[in-house]
Structure 1
Amino acid sequence: MGELTFAGIDGIVILTVFAIIMLVIGYYSGRGEKNIHESLSGYYLASGNLGIVALFFTLFATQYSGNTIVGYAPSAYRTGFSWLQSISFMTIIIGVYLLFAPRLYVIAKKRNFITPTDWLQHRFNSKGVTLLAIFLMLWGLGNYLLEQLVAIGQAVSGMTGGTIPYQVAVIAFVLVMLAYEWMGGMKAVAFTDVMQGIVLLIGILAFVAGGVYLAGGSFGSITQFIAENEPAKIAVPSAEVNINWFSMLILVGLGASIYPHAVQRIYAAKSEKTLKKSFARMAWMPLLTTGLVFLVGIIGIKLFPGLEGNASEQLVGVMANEIATINPFFYWIMIIFFGGIVAAIVSTADSVLLSFSSLISNDVYGKFIKPDASEHRKVMVGKIIGIIAIFGLLWIAWNPPGTLYEIFVLKFELLVQVFPAFVLGLYWKRLNSKPVFWGMVLGAIVAGLLTFTGHKTVYGIHGGIIGLTLNFIVCVGGSLLSSASLKRDPVLEEDLNAVYIKA
């Protein structure tokens, strides 16, 4: 992220204040509410009572992590105007949500679902489908959590001018996160999301304003500079870049919409009306967040030309140092803003960890190891395994495997393979468990082989999309050819008839 050489002790003070606020929120979220720790729904879904403000901001925090600011601005700097795709693929996520979220919500509320795979088990009644989906979702969550741990270390170390080392920063804020999440569960996570969301929105507006001021006061001068000095960054993208753009739209749109922690926020909504209103407001957020971050990268091209590789990854911090010198107002806004970035990263990490532990406690432990365990015991198992998992990832975070953007892409390649089973199952009665299972298996194998052998894209198409195409072919073709009976148990049949468009 780059060091804020101006911050020093002020940065440490702001970070301490944010950490204390998070702990206070966690304490009051869990205080006097025994149900939070005694039931899966209470701890992981805030008992399904999130109102429109909390739901909106927790959806906002789920979609926009520390990677949005720390990782996307450098990508825009290196790529140029073709990085406008970041706005469109954040927008398409909302469209995909609306494709299935209202339907899923109706069934989830009726059947008291806790995790995404509760729906898959209810729909297909197949251990194979459920276990494979659990693995792919845990893979996606593990990668996402790793991304946030890396971002926490970079953000805190950069904000304090290196006074707090990377490793110390990660451990300190992981402990803060574990403490307030342990106390308040989903309720604490949602309320911390409200705090960091407000700070981020105000801070990014000030950041862009300061950057424009330093760059000459107008976007016209910025684009003219780019046209004269780096014309490739405003040129019409090549065919392969355009193909890659559409591939990324599909990969992110389908993959991010079935993030386990995003799906659980659908379950946690107080009502279907609350859910739809929150999504309606979320439709504007790509312009106010990803769009402004894109502008940060474009402004940086003029302010700091010639940055390459790791140097470009430090763009946000380098720009903040310059903006802070404008006047005392911008100085404190930058410090508070970067404190908000840290809080946002931690807030995203807590959502991922909460979902990770819910899959372990409700799905792995509760469905396959000890189905007769009490809900309190399942919650405790999830908490403990979550702690073990996060510290297991810390040693990887000491030496991060690539840029944040590379980590970001990696997690979708396998996670997106769950999409056909998850969403197509809401629309098509004939979809059969065996083709769904083998579609996921083959799609994941193809995506994994391409990704881990260095072929992240083939002619601009991501390996995950190639695997997903095969996945859909197997799911649909196999279901059409299947002679298996379409009869279902009365409970499932009632749910399907309530939400399906007849196919």
Structure 2
Amino acid sequence: MEEETQELAFAGTDAIVILCLYGVAMILIGWWSGRGKQLGKSVSDYYLAGRNLGVITLFFTLYATQYSGNTVVGYAPQAYREGFSWLQSIPFFILIIGVYLLFAPRLYVIGKKQNFITPTDWITHRFQSRAVTILAIVLMLWGLANYLLEQLVAIGHAVAGLTAGAIPYGWAVIGFIVIMLTYEWLGGMRAVAITDALQGIILMIGIAIMLAGALVLSGGGVSDLTASIAAQQPEKIGVPDLATNINWLSMLILVGFGAAMYPHAVQRIYSSRSERILKRSLARMTWMPFITSGVVFVVGIICIDLYPGLDVSASEQLVGLLANDVAGLHPFFYWTMVLLFGAVVGAIVSTADSVLLSFSSMISHDIYGRYIDPEAPQQRKVMVGKLAGIVLIALLLWIAWNPPGTLYQIFVLKFEILVQVAPAFVLGLYWKRLAAWPVFWGMLAGAVLAGAMTLTGNSTVFGIHGGVYGLAVNFAVCVAGSFLFPPTAGKQAENSRMTSLEAAVQNAR
């Protein structure tokens, strides 16, 4: 396994101590979250925290899940490589919240009535088709496995880069897997949500400190910075060409709808204490793209001038390189970079734990509990999910030992497939005429087209991603098929009742 690291001012003892303290703190949170509770005996309690997350915890767990280690470790290098055209990273996070608001409150009300545990509970409830449910499960599990792989690679890069190899890539991945599995087993969703809240706060502080340090290194002159970039690398500061703009719009669609379909994010919808709390949390999330991805974008742009000429491989270590130089400015910055070190690692782990928990819940509830042993006690279902998570981690650890590309490439790949479940949620919640078989063939056609384009090396055509082409075909098949072969009048009436908010509220009472 090859690894590239940067010599850091705080590499060695201080960094290792911070990591150890962080690991112990996470395990203690897991123990505290699960003490006195029979988490292993209730699927709902273990995977959804008893559907009792308040506005602060829900907000921060959504925040920490949405803004993972990829936001800092991967997005700053991407801004460095692309220049100002990477400004798109801000609006596509805004669009994600817009898509959530389109379906999340309605799904919450129906999900509370029906006691949904996983996203595919909605698919089963709405379409009552085994084929549609199984295909949705496969697509969502693909997205989760891919996303978890991304986080494992990010852990290795972050820890190895920020400790100058004092903790090697492989040991970093293994160590934090053990920590994550431990506190997740002890506390379930409660532990994940509380650690997410803590890590979300640390991430905000860390990003602000990173920007301050970058500004000090650059001299603080934004006008001088842009003039320097314009003189040395004008292609990174000029108006994007038509192909870039088309690709930008394609990314907005792909990420906006794809990220809203994250199974672990959908489960947080179910975990909210009330619809009002869910809406308040999502409303606060609309400001986070500017505070998070916006700040990281500026950091990447500053680094174009600070570290000119880095190739793709070297730019992947950009955050470590910047942390090194900032730490050498002053003792204050030294210790704040140590905090940043914890923030980056914490953000990565906060996303990985959510993904792993969601993957386990779908294996235990959707596959084992629905198709293999429907009569199994809930305690056994939870244990099956835990063991499935260990198997997945072992497989992804083997892959992460030789990561298949840059973090950004891994990031794009998962959306091509995951986004294909969007019509089943967005159309299914509002359109009673939407039929099961058009949804099945639409998802399948979209996934096959997107996958084929990726495997043949044509992930974009005319700047548009294969996942977007697949999504267009998917929507077309769903709509045309439902018009040509609509459900019976009785089935449409049943669909209307199933998605009626009034009926859901009345029955919930």
Letter in 2 for 1:160: T
Q: Distance in 1 between matches of 2:82 and 2:251?
A: 15
Match of 2:364 in 1: 361
- Where structure 2 has 5 or more consecutive residues not aligned to the other structure, the ranges are 504-509
Task: Indicate the residue corresponding to 1:347 in structure 2.
Answer: 350
460, 465, 470: which is aligned to 1:467? 470
Q: TM-score, normalised by structure 1?
A: 0.97
Aligned with residue 235 of structure 2, among 220, 232, 235: 232
Asked whether the 8 Å contact 1:226–1:302 carries over to 2, the reply is yes
Alpha-carbon distance between aligned partners in 1 of 2:209 and 2:266, rounded to the nearest angstrom: 32
Query: In the TM superposition, what whole-angstrom CA distance separates every residue of 1:367-399 from its partner, at most 9, and x where no partner exists?
Result: 110111111111111001111111111110000
**1:207 is paired with a residue of what secondary structure?**
helix
Distance apart, 1:186 and its partner CA:
0.5
Q: Are 1:435 and 2:435 an aligned pair? A: no
Out of 177, 181, 205, the residue aligned to residue 202 of structure 1 is: 205
What is the distance in 1 between the residues matched to 2:238 and 2:61? Answer: 37
Distance 2:247 2:101 in 1: 25
Instruction: Provide closer, same or farther for how the CA distance between residues 483 and 76 of structure 1 changes in structure 2, counting only shifts above 3 A.
Output: closer
User: Deviations along 1:227-274, whole A, 9 cap, x unmatched?
Assistant: 111111111111111000000000000000010000000000011110
| Local SS of the residue matching 1:487 | helix
Per the TM alignment, residue 340 of structure 1 is displaced from its structure 2 partner at its CA by: 1.5
Say whether the 8 Å CA contact 1:122–1:492 is kept in structure 2.
Answer: no
Are 1:244 and 2:247 matched, yes or no?
yes
In structure 2, C-alpha distance between the alignment counterparts of 1:302 and 1:213, rounded to whole Å: 13
1:128 to 123, 126, 131: 131
Q: Deviations over 1:164-211 (max 9, x none)?
A: 111111111100000000000010000001111111111111110111
SS in 2 for 1:235: coil
3-state SS of the aligned residue for 1:70? helix
RMSD (CA atoms): 1.3
The superposition leaves residues 338-391 of structure 1 with CA deviations (integer Å, 9 ceiling, x where unpaired) of 112111111110000000000100000011101111111111110011111111
Q: Distance in 1 between matches of 2:436 and 2:318?
A: 48
Contact 1:417–1:471 (CA under 8 A) maintained in structure 2: yes
Q: Equivalent residue of 2:137, what SS? A: helix
* Partner of residue 29 from structure 1, selected from 9, 19, 33: 33
1: CA distance, partners of 2:79 / 2:492? 51
2:349 & 2:186 partners in 1: Cα distance?
Answer: 16
Q: Is the 8 A contact 2:157 2:317 kept in 1?
A: no
Tell me the residue number matched to 1:13.
Answer: 17
2:506 aligned residue? none
Query: What does residue range 129-144 of structure 1 map to in structure 2 within 5 Å?
Result: 129-144=132-147
In structure 2, do the counterparts of structure 1 residues 4 and 200 end up closer, same or farther at CA, with 3 Å as the change threshold?
farther
State percent identity of aligned pairs.
Answer: 63
Partner of residue 280, structure 2: 277
Quote how far apart the aligned CAs of 1:130 are. 0.2
Distance 1:48 1:483, change over 3 A: closer
CA distance in 2, matches of 1:4, 1:189: 32
Whether contact under 8 Å (2:31, 2:187) holds in the other structure is yes
Alignment-mate amino acid for residue 204 of structure 1: I
Contact 1:2–1:313 (CA<8 Å) still a contact in 2?
Answer: no
- Equivalences for 1:5-404 in 2 at 5 Å? 5-7=8-10, 8-34=12-38, 36-404=39-407
- Structure 1's unaligned 5+ residue stretches are none
Q: What displacement does 1:495 show?
A: 3.1
CA contact (8 A) 1:2 1:315 kept: no
> What is the distance in 2 between the residues matched to 1:83 and 1:159?
24
Q: What count of residue pairs does the alignment treat as equivalent? A: 499
Equivalent pair of 1:9/1:160 in contact (CA under 8 Å): no
Q: Deviations over 1:30-82 (max 9, x none)?
A: 00011x22111100000100001110010001111100000000100011101
* CA–CA distance in structure 1, aligned partners of residues 214 and 161 of structure 2: 19
